[in-house]
């Protein structure tokens, strides 16, 4: 179910469902659903693990809504529970989520320590899903520190694992991450290729947030190339579509700063009148049209639907 919320772009709905689950999963006295005492220790452990899973899921959903303090609080409670029942894999997952929340607050040393501990626990458990998430987060921490070499290495490690296990949604994220490093290096050909590959995958998966992020990233590449009207259109489209769907086009606050800087630079270069015209054109684009423009595809309308094809 969490995959549906994540990929479909329904974090609000996901959080509401998980919040309801949390209200129903208050600590029990060890009785089962019929009121039988049974094995109290096993019942308490099962209840704690169920609550930990709901807390982690809710923490992920509010993270995607950029509610970082709420995410941190949920993962803090999750971590306490996971340590108490001595579940290494769930503990690692909680550490990943908690560390991610500290990273966006600028507490990078603490964030890194959480991710490194998660890596140790996930390696010990032989679970790749947590390993690749921790590596991605370590890459973002390195990016925030300005260490582009380490960021690329971490992102590429995560991408290799995701390709190996066929984690399609994760591949999209890792391509976007690696493209971000290329963009910051001003390697614009690589940045565009990675962003477009991520966008093609995201479209095939109907992965809403990743499609918005891909359109936005290609917009910033266009701005760096000096393709100013296209850059403004794509940046405006990502923002407008994000607002219309109540789904963020980006999660890391770092990316939002880059987005705002690109908008300001294009406005300054184009002038207010030309900027306003391109911005209005971008805000009028459908998601299909925005993706097509980002990928250099032509768009035709068939039965009211936007159909794209390579130019």
Q: Mean pLDDT lowest for which of 178-187, 209-218, 243-252?
A: 243-252
How is the chain split into domains, by residue range? 1-12+47-127, 180-279
* Domain 1-12+47-127 part of CATH 3.30.1330.10: no
Model confidence pLDDT, tens digit, residues 87-99 = 999 999 999 999 9
Q: How confident is the model at residue 298 (pLDDT cuts 50, 70, 90)?
A: low
CA dihedral 188, 189, 192, 196 (to 10 degrees): -170
Q: What is the pTM of this model?
A: 0.81
Say how far apart CA 292 and CA 53 lie, in whole Å.
38
Q: DSSP E strands: which ranges in the chain?
A: 297-302, 305-310
Cross-strand bridge partners of residue 299: 308
**Segment holding 272, helix H or strand E:** helix 272-283
Model confidence pLDDT, tens digit, residues 98-149 = 999 999 889 999 999 999 999 999 988 888 889 999 999 999 999 999 999 9
């Amino acid at each position: 179910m969490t995959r549906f919320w994540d990929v479909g772009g329904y974090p609000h709905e996901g959080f509401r469902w998980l919040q309801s689950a949390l209200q129903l999963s208050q600590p029990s006295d060890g009785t089962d659903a019929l009121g039988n005492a049974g094995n109290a220790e096993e019942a308490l452990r099962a209840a704690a693990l169920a609550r930990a899973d709901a807390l982690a899921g809710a923490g992920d959903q509010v993270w995607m809504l950029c509610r970082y303090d709420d995410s941190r609080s949920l993962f803090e409670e999750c971590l306490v529970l996971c340590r108490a029942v001595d579940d290494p894999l769930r503990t690692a997952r909680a550490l990943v989520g908690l560390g991610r929340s500290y990273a966006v607050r600028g507490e990078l040393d603490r964030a890194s320590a959480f991710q490194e501990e998660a890596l140790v626990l996930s390696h010990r458990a032989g679970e790749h899903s947590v390993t690749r998430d921790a590596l991605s987060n370590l890459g973002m921490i390195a990016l925030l520190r300005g260490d582009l070499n380490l960021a690329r290495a971490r992102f590429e490690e995560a991408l290799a694992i995701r390709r190996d296990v066929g984690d399609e949604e994760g591949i999209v994220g890792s391509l976007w991450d690696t493209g971000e490093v290329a963009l910051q290096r001003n390697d614009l050909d690589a940045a565009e290729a990675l962003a477009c590959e991520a966008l093609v995958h995201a479209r095939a998966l109907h992965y809403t947030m990743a499609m918005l992020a891909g359109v936005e990233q290609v917009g910033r590449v266009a701005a760096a190339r000096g393709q100013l009207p296209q850059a403004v259109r794509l940046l405006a489209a990502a923002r407008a579509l994000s607002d219309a769907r109540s789904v963020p086009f980006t999660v890391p606050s770092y990316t939002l700063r880059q987005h705002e800087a690109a908008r300001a630079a294009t406005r300054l270069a184009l002038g207010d009148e030309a900027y306003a015209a391109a911005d209005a054109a971008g805000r009028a684009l459908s998601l299909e049209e925005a993706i097509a423009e980002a990928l250099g595809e032509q768009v035709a309308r068939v039965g009211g639907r936007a159909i794209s094809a390579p130019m």
